[in-house]
A and B are shown apart, each in its own frame.
Chain A
Amino acid sequence: MRDLSFMLAGVGGQGIILAGDVLAEVGLRAGRDVKKSEVHGMAQRGGGVTSQVRWGRHVYSPLAEPGRIDILIGFEVLEALRNVHYLRSGGQAVVNRYHLPPPAVAAGEAAYPDDTDVEREFAARGATLRWMCPPPGIERLAAGVQLLGLVSAIEPLRGALPAEAWLDALYRLVPPVHQELNRRAFQRGRTAAANGTPGRGAV
């Protein structure tokens, strides 16, 4: 497998650290060197949060440069768009079609970008965008794991690692009582990827 850099972007409290941990663990189990950066503290109080995970033969920096991320995993639409410049040309994004208005938008002082504007921005940078339909009810707590299911089934990861490699890493990191919820979320994402077409509406 070639070197891969992932970026996760969303809002504090959405489970970005856990999803990044799973991704890092999968890379480790695939025999890669792995580094992961994360953000703690103030930003976790509802601010924009990002994390990067890098798999490689030898990874020096836990941070990648803008324009060098292979796969962007968006937990929220605005935060995915905010980090679009990290994607390399030809990179891929999977984005939860979930809109969380930031304070200025909630107060009616700024506009939230349209999905069509978002699609245009990704296309302009030569990146492929796949929307993910946000899971309903309690399942939304596992949206990050559903996103990982999707990522696991797109190139270049499709076929590279069996579902068990992902689920084993997941089970290592979530408490036993939440394993079933997370397993369902992962499978939903993985199945949706197999059926969906990039850039053609939510999968």
Chain B
Amino acid sequence: MVNAGNRILLSGNEAVALGAFEAGVKVAAAYPGTPSTEILESLGAYPGVYCEWSSNEKVALDVAIGAAYAGRRALAVMKHVGLNVAADSLFYAAYTGLGGAGLAIVVADDPGMHSSQNEQDTRHYARFAQVPLVEPADSGEARDLLGRALAVSEQFDVPVLVRMSTRVSHSRGVVEVAGAATAPGKRRPALADPAPVPDPHARSARDALTALAADPGKYVMVPGNARGRHPVVRQRLADLARWAESCELNQVEFGDRAVGVVTSGIAYQYAREVLPDASFLKLGLVWPLPVGLLRRFAAGVERLLVVEELDPFLEENLRLLGLTVEGKRWFPAMGELSPAAVRRGAIQSGLLQKESEEPAAALQLPARPPVLCPGCGHRPIFYALRRLGAVVFGDIGCYTLGAMPPLSAMHTCGCMGAGLANLHGALKALDIADPDGQPGGTRGMPVAVIGDSTFYHAGLPALANLVYNQGGGLVIIADNSTTAMTGHQDHPGTGRTLAGGVAPRLDAAEAARGLGVGRVATVDPFALDEFLAVAREFVASREPAVIVARHPCALQSRSRRPPVIVVAEACNGCGICLHLGCPPLSADGGKVLLDQDLCAGCGLCATVCPRQALVPAPNQGGGSAHA
């Protein structure tokens, strides 16, 4: 359907994809991570662009760098913590440059940690790696910035960081398009009938690679060559800083000169709404800074403020210029910024009068944290581990929800792939402390749990290490055959590509065997007794042991089972089923209640009920519904 005036609503992520497509990006790679995931899902729907889910962010960035080396515009996409994984690659690409074709690295920060393990401010990486960083403030800017970022990348032979944030990535705003438009979505482009965009580079990929091969001093980063490149990196940053002075991405809006606000990205929108009359210097190019422009702006206003999300990055750099500036004194350095937070700071700083009390939230309401879905195959894993009393080194994914009460059966969660090596280290510490000690039972014994996508992302090197260094203990690969938390993306174990095509399917059990793990079992965790028996045996193993706990994601299973039946007269209110933390089950005056609309019919509650007060619906077979 054609939209009137071709003004369409796009999320920041969909706008990045549109901008990348229009700019002639030919190769794009990413590992899914909130809030960045939809960028590649959207870009993959356009013709003439190769898109892939890479196994992790470092691999994705290396893929994109390789494509740029071969003379094609390239894109790598990740969330903020993904850039930690890919940082090594960012730094070498900063030294080598790309040789002619543009590379944009889109990194989505998550202030407020809506779906992350920490808050990181990606702007530091720009300064650290000495590369430029641009930041859009809404969807329209995100679309336009992609083309600009790629042009800058080519003009200065440098990878360019594009910083998104949750509120820009996941807000919809108006974007104007030339042709007919559709409602975009997963695997659906914003344009009704997009034609492939001509490659902006005339040079063939073969010629680009031949040129690369003839220039080892630029691309082979051995010490002798890298020493020659570092001055190039420094000079390039100086050139970029000079260019930044007249760069149209930085905009001055003079209003009331009593106060001038330096800001960028989503913080601009909040500040502009709360302080409509102030003067603004809005930075689209956040690094390197336009020093002369900043000084002129500062001289043109009576009071200089910085409104920025997370760290005092701009503020500290302005202070280094000798400017008197106020920032984090009034505005928070933690959590997501908001119009309310900007207003509070503006009132405290005396810029605004308090109009009325900020309305208080309704008091003392029970919290509603995220939970494992009804029918989720992770639930029996954590129920079993709780029964065993294991200390669980966890990882990143839906299964991290196993840490929430009442299951409370995950005890660490740090970053992708950490749990396996944590387990190895803990077991080595136990051995050192008590070299002859035989473990007594499962209570207090460490176990690692990692998801299938996470296993391919960062678990493989840790498992190889565990085998090599003669570790032991139980590693559970919670295999739901998808990257569930981010919205069901494919990975090396799903047998499908980003574009929906058929791919070779890696089997986690075979991968473990191939790495030299001797004891490997694949068990459906809903076969609870079997799962418990294997786990008991493996926990105390002196050699590496892996259980692939395989059950498809409940949100993806096609057949819906009839709900479990409650036999109220048999229920004595013991509450064992409630320890599963399954959303349909609740306590009501000493008896269990089951919400039939929510129940997925997995039958786990029937399996654990000692009184047959919960019974699987007739066509389900025995108590273990999935045996």
Q: Which residues of A contact B (CB under 8 A)?
A: 11-12, 21, 24-25, 28-29, 33-48, 59-67, 78-79, 81-82, 84-86, 100-108, 110-113, 121, 125, 140, 172-173
Residues of A within 8 A of B581 (CB): 103
Interface pair B172/A66, CB less than 8 Å apart: no
- Give CA–CA (A65, B358) in the complex, Å: 9
Q: Are A45 and B373 in contact (CB under 8 A)?
A: yes
Whether the pair A78, B1 counts as a contact (CB closer than 8 A) is no
A54 vs B4: C-alpha distance in the bound complex, in angstroms? 20
B residues near A24, Cβ cutoff 8 Å: 9, 172
Known: A41-B35, A107-B587. A67 touches B359 (CB 8 A): yes
Known: A66-B358, A106-B583. A34 touches B183 (CB 8 A): no
Question: Do B369 and A103 touch across chains, with their CB atoms under 8 A apart?
Answer: yes
Known: A85-B360, A102-B368, A105-B366. A41 touches B114 (CB 8 A): yes
A37 contacts which chain B residues (CB < 8 A)? 167, 170-171
Stretch at the interface among B44-52, B207-215, B251-259, B337-345: B337-345
> What A residues does B372 contact at CB under 8 A?
45
Is there a chain A Cβ closer than 8 Å to B66's Cβ?
A: no
Report the separation of the CA atoms of residues A100 and B374 in the bound assembly, to the nearest whole angstrom: 14
| Between-chain CB contacts (< 8 Å), 6 pairs | A41-B114, A45-B485, A67-B356, A78-B368, A106-B585, A112-B366
User: Does B365 sit within 8 A of A, measured CB to CB?
Assistant: yes
Majority-rule SS of B interface residues: loop
The answer to whether B367 and A40 have CB atoms under 8 Å apart is no
A93 and B34 alpha carbons, distance in the complex (Å)? 31
A28–B7 alpha-carbon span in the complex (Å): 8
Stretch at the interface among B266-274, B287-295, B422-430, B531-539: B266-274
- Most chain A CB within 10 A, of B34, B167, B369, B404, is at B369
Q: Roughly how many angstroms separate A24 CA and B372 CA in the complex, as a whole number? A: 30
Chain A, interface SS category: mixed
Measured between beta carbons, the chain A residues less than 8 angstroms from B406 are: 103, 107
Nearest opposing residue in chain B for A13, CB measure: B373
Inter-subunit contact A110/B398 (CB<8 Å): no
Q: In the complex the two chains form, is A11's CB within 8 Å of B172's CB?
A: no
Given A37-B170, A40-B115, A85-B360; A45-B339 close (CB under 8 Å): no
Across the interface, do B338 and A107 meet the contact criterion of CB distance under 8 Å? Answer: no
Task: Tell me, yes or no, whether B612 is within 8 Å of chain A by CB.
Answer: no
B578 at interface by CB-CB < 8 Å: yes
A43 to B370, CA, bound (A): 5
B262 nearest CB across to chain A (Å): 17
Which residues from 15 to 64 on chain B have a C-beta closer than 8 Å to any C-beta of chain A?
34-35, 37-38
Q: Which of A41, A78, A101 makes the CB contact (< 8 A) with B365? A: A78
Contact with A along B156-190 (1 / 0, CB 8 A): 00000000000100111110000000010000000
Contact A79 B368 (CB under 8 A): yes
* A60 and B272 contact, CB distance less than 8 A: yes
B588 to A, closest residue via Cβ: A108
Q: Which residues of B contact A102 (CB under 8 A)?
A: 366-369
Number of A-B residue pairs with CB-CB distance less than 8 Å in the complex they form: 169
Does B565 belong to the interface (CB within 8 Å)?
no
Given contacts A62-B269, A65-B343, A67-B358, contact A42 B485 (CB under 8 A): yes
Binding site for A on B (CB under 8 A): 1, 3-4, 7-9, 11, 34-35, 37-38, 114-115, 138, 167, 170-174, 183, 268-270, 272-273, 338-340, 343, 356, 358-362, 365-373, 398, 401, 404-406, 485-487, 575, 578, 581, 583, 585-587, 597
Write the nearest CB–CB distance from A19 to chain B, whole angstroms: 13
Name the contact of A172 in the complex, choosing from B7, B138, B183 (C-beta under 8 A): B183
Shortest Cβ-Cβ A-B pairs, 5 listed: A41-B115, A41-B34, A47-B370, A106-B586, A62-B171
Chain B residues, Cβ within 8 Å of A43 = 114-115, 370
Q: Is the CB of B362 within 8 A of A42?
A: no
CB–CB B340/A36 < 8 A: no
CA distance in complex: A24, B367 (Å):
29
Instruction: Given the known inter-chain contacts A28-B174, A39-B114, A65-B338, please indicate yes or no for A45 contacting B366, CB distance below 8 A.
Output: no
Q: How far is the CB of B315 from chain A (nearest CB, A)?
A: 21
Taking the closest CB of chain A, its distance from the CB of B5, in whole angstroms, is 9
Residues of B within 8 A of A111 (CB): 366
- Residue in A42, A79, A172 whose CB lies within 8 Å of B115: A42
Contacts of B356 on A, CB cut-off 8 Å? 67
CB distance from B576 to the nearest CB of A (A): 12
State A66–B3 Cα separation when bound (angstroms).
Answer: 33
Contacts of B360 in A (CB 8 A): 85
- CB < 8 Å neighbour of A34 from B174, B365, B487: B174
Residue of B nearest to A33 (CB): B174
Decide: B269 and A45 in contact? CB cutoff 8 A.
no
Q: Flag if A66 contacts B359 (CB, 8 Å).
A: yes
Q: In the complex, what residue of chain B is closest to A113 when comparing beta carbons? A: B365
A38-B170 contact in complex given A66-B359, A82-B365, A121-B362, C-beta closer than 8 Å = yes
Shortest Cβ distance from A152 into chain B, in angstroms?
Answer: 19
Residue of B nearest to A172 (CB): B183
**Sample of 6 further A-B pairs with CB below 8 A, known A33-B174, A85-B360, A103-B368:** A39-B114, A40-B34, A40-B38, A60-B272, A106-B578, A107-B587
**CA distance in complex: A61, B404 (Å):** 33
Q: How far is the CA of A102 from the CA of B270 in the complex (A)?
A: 32
Q: Are B370's CB and A61's CB within 8 A?
A: no
Given contacts A60-B272, A78-B366, contact A35 B114 (CB under 8 A): no
B371, A60: Cβ atoms under 8 Å? Answer: no
Q: How distant is A177 from chain B, measured CB to nearest CB, in Å?
A: 15
Docked Cα-Cα span, A40 to B575, in Å, equals 32
CA distance A25 to B181 in the complex (A): 13
Our pick among A35, A67, A104 for the contact of B171 (Cβ within 8 Å) is A35
Q: Is the CB of B368 within 8 A of A62?
A: no
Cβ of B171 and Cβ of A103 under 8 Å apart? no
CA distance A59 to B568 in the complex (A): 54
Give chain B residues whose Cβ lies under 8 Å from the Cβ of A100: 583
Given the known A-B contacts A61-B273, A82-B361, are A40 and B370 also in contact in the complex, defined by CB atoms under 8 Å?
no
Inter-chain CA distance A104–B578, complex, in Å, is 11
Given that A37-B170, A104-B367, A172-B1 are contacting pairs, would A45 and B401 also be in contact in the complex, using a CB cutoff of 8 Å? yes
Find chain A residues with CB under 8 A from B4 CB: 29
With a cutoff of 8 Å between Cβ atoms, the chain B residues found around residue A79 in the complex are 368
Given contacts A46-B583, A103-B581, contact A110 B366 (CB under 8 A): yes
Most chain A CB within a 10 A radius of its CB, from B172, B268, B575: B172
Q: How far is the CB of A110 from chain B (nearest CB, A)?
A: 4
Q: Are B371 and A103 in contact (CB under 8 A)?
A: yes
Q: Looking at the assembled complex, report how far the CB atom of A105 sits from the nearest CB atom of chain B, in whole angstroms.
A: 5
Residues of B within 8 Å of A65, CB to CB, are 338-340, 343, 358
Cβ-defined contact, A61 with B339, below 8 A:
yes
**When the two chains form their complex, are residues A85 and B359 in contact, meaning their CB atoms are under 8 A apart?**
yes
Report chain A residues within 8 Å CB of B361: 66, 82, 84-85
CA distance A40 to B353 in the complex (A): 35
Most-contacted residue by chain B among A28, A43, A84, A106 (CB, 10 A): A106
Give the complex CA separation of A103 and B486 in angstroms: 23
Residue of A nearest to B598 (CB): A100
Q: Indicate if the CB atoms of B172 and A21 lie closer than 8 Å.
A: yes
